[in-house]
């Protein structure tokens, strides 16, 4: 992965991402089985979600390499989609955003989006529609966002709805542009496993 900074794009939702995320489990006829496509990158994503220091350091380095070439960084706010819990902040992105802002001069917006009501974790069957996010996420620190460009970060996208909801909330504040960037895009989880 080091040196592999070619980004991909979810053209439907206009979201940039690094690689595909293969979930640990897949389902076949109501049976849960280990996904044979679960790889090292997907493992790093899971570890990032758990705030593992090696995974956090790995993705910090990847984002540093990508974002260090951006011009006008002093007018770009780094913001992350909040965790599913009202007390969860933005997970591992809190540390990553702090380090990127200190090293590269971005504006720190890690606390601009807050989950005000806990929702069921999406990977555990929580509702994925956009409205649930619109109703449970609020914007804070509006003064640092007005007239600025925003890089909106998340670890994994499946439907894109949490990103789209956050984008809508930010657009209503007069930001000058939003780039949606996730570390990984989920591959379909429900696949037919042949001849088991």
Mind spelling out the 3-state secondary structure of 26-74? Answer: EEECCEEEECCCCCHHHHHHHHHHCCCHHHHHHHHHHHHHHHCCCCCHH
Instruction: Please give the Cα distance from 86 to 117 (Å, whole number).
Output: 5
Q: Give the pLDDT score at 3.
A: 41
Name the nearest CA neighbour of 160 among 16, 44, 64.
Answer: 16
How many CB atoms within 10 Å of residue 152? 25
pLDDT confidence of 176, banded at 50, 70, 90? very high
Average confidence (pLDDT) over 45-63: 98
Neighbouring CB atoms inside 10 A of 60's CB total 20
Task: Give the separation between CA 142 and CA 109, rounded to whole angstroms.
Answer: 10
8-186 carries CATH number 3.30.1340: no
Q: Look at 25 and 194; give whichever has higher pLDDT.
A: 25
pLDDT confidence band for 139 (50 / 70 / 90):
very high
Could you tell me the residue ranges of all domains in the chain?
8-186
Does the structure show a pLDDT above 50 at 195?
no
Q: Is the pLDDT of residue 109 over 50?
A: yes
- Confidence class of residue 84 from pLDDT cuts 50, 70 and 90? confident
Averaged pLDDT for residues 17-35: 89
Compute the average pLDDT of residues 72-85: 95
């Amino acid at each position: 992965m080091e040196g592999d900074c070619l980004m991909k794009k979810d053209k439907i939702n206009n979201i940039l991402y690094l690689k595909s995320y293969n979930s640990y489990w897949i389902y076949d006829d109501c049976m849960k089985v280990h996904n044979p496509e679960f790889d090292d990158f997907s493992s790093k994503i899971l570890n990032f979600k758990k705030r593992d220091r090696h995974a956090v350091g790995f993705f910090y380095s990847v984002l540093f390499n990508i974002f260090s070439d951006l011009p006008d960084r002093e007018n770009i706010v780094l913001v992350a989609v909040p965790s599913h819990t009202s007390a969860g902040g933005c997970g591992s992105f809190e540390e990553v955003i702090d380090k990127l802002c200190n090293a590269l001069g971005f504006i720190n917006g890690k606390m601009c989006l807050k989950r005000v009501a806990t929702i069921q974790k999406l990977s555990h069957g929580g509702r994925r529609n956009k409205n649930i996010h619109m109703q449970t996420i609020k914007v804070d620190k509006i003064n640092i966002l007005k007239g600025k460009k925003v890089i909106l970060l998340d670890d994994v996208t499946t439907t894109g709805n949490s990103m789209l909801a956050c984008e809508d909330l930010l657009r209503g504040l007069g930001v000058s542009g939003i780039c949606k960037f996730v570390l990984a895009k989920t591959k379909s989880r429900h696949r037919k496993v042949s001849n088991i």
